[in-house]
Amino acid sequence: MIRLLTRTAVFAVGLLLGAVSYAQTSQPNAPNQEDKTFVKEAGIGGIAEVELSKLAQKSDNAEVKSFADRMIRDHTAANQELTAIATGLGLEVPKALDAEHERLRQKLQSLHGKAFDEQYMNGMVEDHEKVVKLFQQEERSGHNPELKQFAQKTLPTLQDHQKMALELSHKVSQAAAK
Protein backbone atom coordinates (compact mmCIF):
# COMPACT_ATOMS: atom_id res chain seq x y z
CA MET A 1 0.00 0.00 0.00
CA ILE A 2 2.81 2.44 0.88
CA ARG A 3 4.60 1.47 -2.31
CA LEU A 4 1.48 2.27 -4.34
CA LEU A 5 1.06 5.63 -2.61
CA THR A 6 4.73 6.47 -3.21
CA ARG A 7 4.46 5.57 -6.89
CA THR A 8 1.28 7.60 -7.23
CA ALA A 9 2.89 10.59 -5.50
CA VAL A 10 6.00 10.37 -7.70
CA PHE A 11 3.81 10.08 -10.80
CA ALA A 12 1.71 13.09 -9.72
CA VAL A 13 4.81 15.20 -9.05
CA GLY A 14 6.15 14.20 -12.47
CA LEU A 15 2.92 15.25 -14.14
CA LEU A 16 2.91 18.54 -12.24
CA LEU A 17 6.52 19.33 -13.14
CA GLY A 18 5.87 18.40 -16.76
CA ALA A 19 2.86 20.71 -16.89
CA VAL A 20 4.81 23.59 -15.34
CA SER A 21 7.67 23.02 -17.77
CA TYR A 22 5.29 22.89 -20.72
CA ALA A 23 3.54 26.07 -19.58
CA GLN A 24 6.87 27.89 -19.34
CA THR A 25 7.99 26.87 -22.81
CA SER A 26 4.71 27.41 -24.60
CA GLN A 27 3.62 30.81 -23.31
CA PRO A 28 2.21 32.64 -26.32
CA ASN A 29 3.84 35.99 -25.45
CA ALA A 30 7.15 34.64 -24.19
CA PRO A 31 10.10 36.43 -25.79
CA ASN A 32 11.55 34.55 -28.75
CA GLN A 33 15.14 34.73 -29.99
CA GLU A 34 14.42 37.86 -32.03
CA ASP A 35 13.04 39.60 -28.92
CA LYS A 36 16.11 38.55 -26.92
CA THR A 37 18.40 39.92 -29.63
CA PHE A 38 16.40 43.14 -29.64
CA VAL A 39 16.83 43.55 -25.87
CA LYS A 40 20.56 42.92 -26.14
CA GLU A 41 21.16 45.25 -29.09
CA ALA A 42 18.81 47.99 -27.85
CA GLY A 43 20.44 47.79 -24.42
CA ILE A 44 23.96 48.13 -25.83
CA GLY A 45 22.87 50.97 -28.11
CA GLY A 46 21.20 52.83 -25.26
CA ILE A 47 24.22 52.52 -23.00
CA ALA A 48 26.48 53.68 -25.82
CA GLU A 49 24.37 56.76 -26.52
CA VAL A 50 24.53 57.80 -22.87
CA GLU A 51 28.23 57.03 -22.32
CA LEU A 52 29.44 58.64 -25.55
CA SER A 53 27.22 61.66 -24.99
CA LYS A 54 28.67 62.17 -21.52
CA LEU A 55 32.03 62.59 -23.22
CA ALA A 56 30.51 65.20 -25.52
CA GLN A 57 30.01 67.48 -22.53
CA LYS A 58 33.61 68.61 -23.16
CA SER A 59 32.71 69.98 -26.60
CA ASP A 60 33.09 73.69 -27.22
CA ASN A 61 30.21 73.54 -29.69
CA ALA A 62 26.94 74.54 -27.96
CA GLU A 63 24.84 72.56 -30.49
CA VAL A 64 26.87 69.39 -29.91
CA LYS A 65 26.51 69.84 -26.14
CA SER A 66 22.77 70.40 -26.47
CA PHE A 67 22.42 67.32 -28.67
CA ALA A 68 24.44 65.29 -26.15
CA ASP A 69 22.23 66.49 -23.30
CA ARG A 70 19.16 65.31 -25.20
CA MET A 71 20.78 61.93 -25.91
CA ILE A 72 21.59 61.45 -22.24
CA ARG A 73 18.09 62.42 -21.13
CA ASP A 74 16.13 60.44 -23.74
CA HIS A 75 18.30 57.33 -23.75
CA THR A 76 18.51 57.15 -19.96
CA ALA A 77 14.70 57.13 -19.82
CA ALA A 78 14.45 54.53 -22.61
CA ASN A 79 17.13 52.37 -20.96
CA GLN A 80 15.19 52.38 -17.69
CA GLU A 81 11.97 51.41 -19.44
CA LEU A 82 13.65 48.64 -21.46
CA THR A 83 15.31 47.29 -18.30
CA ALA A 84 11.97 47.20 -16.46
CA ILE A 85 10.26 45.34 -19.33
CA ALA A 86 13.14 42.93 -19.86
CA THR A 87 13.48 42.17 -16.16
CA GLY A 88 9.76 41.40 -16.00
CA LEU A 89 10.26 38.95 -18.87
CA GLY A 90 13.25 37.32 -17.23
CA LEU A 91 15.72 38.76 -19.73
CA GLU A 92 19.02 40.37 -18.91
CA VAL A 93 19.92 43.78 -20.34
CA PRO A 94 23.59 44.52 -21.04
CA LYS A 95 25.20 46.80 -18.49
CA ALA A 96 28.38 47.72 -20.36
CA LEU A 97 29.56 48.84 -23.77
CA ASP A 98 30.38 46.25 -26.39
CA ALA A 99 33.88 46.19 -27.94
CA GLU A 100 32.90 48.40 -30.91
CA HIS A 101 31.51 51.19 -28.72
CA GLU A 102 34.35 50.87 -26.23
CA ARG A 103 36.85 51.50 -29.07
CA LEU A 104 34.87 54.59 -30.12
CA ARG A 105 34.75 55.81 -26.51
CA GLN A 106 38.52 55.46 -26.18
CA LYS A 107 39.06 57.26 -29.48
CA LEU A 108 36.74 60.10 -28.45
CA GLN A 109 38.59 60.49 -25.14
CA SER A 110 41.77 61.34 -27.06
CA LEU A 111 40.14 63.89 -29.39
CA HIS A 112 39.36 67.57 -28.82
CA GLY A 113 37.70 70.47 -30.61
CA LYS A 114 36.37 70.04 -34.11
CA ALA A 115 37.95 66.58 -34.50
CA PHE A 116 36.03 65.39 -31.43
CA ASP A 117 32.76 66.93 -32.61
CA GLU A 118 33.09 65.39 -36.06
CA GLN A 119 33.89 61.90 -34.75
CA TYR A 120 31.17 62.03 -32.08
CA MET A 121 28.51 63.15 -34.53
CA ASN A 122 29.56 60.54 -37.12
CA GLY A 123 29.19 57.90 -34.40
CA MET A 124 25.75 59.23 -33.50
CA VAL A 125 24.61 59.09 -37.13
CA GLU A 126 25.84 55.49 -37.54
CA ASP A 127 24.39 54.33 -34.23
CA HIS A 128 21.00 55.90 -34.88
CA GLU A 129 20.80 54.35 -38.35
CA LYS A 130 21.36 50.94 -36.77
CA VAL A 131 19.02 51.46 -33.83
CA VAL A 132 16.18 52.84 -35.96
CA LYS A 133 16.36 49.70 -38.15
CA LEU A 134 16.46 47.52 -35.02
CA PHE A 135 13.37 49.17 -33.54
CA GLN A 136 11.52 49.03 -36.87
CA GLN A 137 12.26 45.31 -37.09
CA GLU A 138 10.98 44.71 -33.55
CA GLU A 139 7.88 46.78 -34.22
CA ARG A 140 7.12 44.74 -37.37
CA SER A 141 7.99 41.23 -36.32
CA GLY A 142 8.75 41.07 -32.61
CA HIS A 143 6.94 38.34 -30.73
CA ASN A 144 6.43 39.81 -27.28
CA PRO A 145 3.72 42.51 -27.17
CA GLU A 146 5.43 44.54 -24.42
CA LEU A 147 8.66 44.77 -26.40
CA LYS A 148 6.77 45.56 -29.61
CA GLN A 149 4.88 48.34 -27.83
CA PHE A 150 8.13 49.71 -26.39
CA ALA A 151 9.69 49.71 -29.88
CA GLN A 152 6.63 51.40 -31.36
CA LYS A 153 6.54 54.07 -28.64
CA THR A 154 10.30 54.77 -28.74
CA LEU A 155 10.81 54.71 -32.52
CA PRO A 156 9.60 58.29 -33.26
CA THR A 157 12.08 59.67 -30.72
CA LEU A 158 14.90 57.65 -32.26
CA GLN A 159 13.94 58.84 -35.74
CA ASP A 160 14.01 62.40 -34.43
CA HIS A 161 17.48 61.76 -32.98
CA GLN A 162 18.58 60.30 -36.31
CA LYS A 163 17.44 63.40 -38.19
CA MET A 164 19.05 65.73 -35.66
CA ALA A 165 22.31 63.76 -35.74
CA LEU A 166 22.47 63.86 -39.53
CA GLU A 167 21.82 67.60 -39.69
CA LEU A 168 24.30 68.42 -36.94
CA SER A 169 26.88 66.07 -38.41
CA HIS A 170 26.73 68.00 -41.70
CA LYS A 171 27.13 71.31 -39.86
CA VAL A 172 30.07 70.01 -37.84
CA SER A 173 31.75 68.56 -40.95
CA GLN A 174 31.39 71.86 -42.79
CA ALA A 175 32.85 73.74 -39.82
CA ALA A 176 35.76 71.30 -39.57
CA ALA A 177 36.51 71.74 -43.30
CA LYS A 178 36.95 75.52 -42.87
How does pLDDT run across 94-146, given as a tens digit for each residue?
Answer: 999 999 999 999 999 999 999 999 999 999 999 999 999 999 999 999 999 99
Distance between first and last Cα of the chain: 94
Closest CA relative to residue 129, chosen from 168, 164, 162, 96: 162
Q: Residue 166 in 3-state DSSP?
A: helix
State which residues of the chain have pLDDT below 70: 1-28
Closest CA relative to residue 138, chosen from 74, 46, 26, 42: 42
Question: What pTM did the predictor assign?
Answer: 0.83
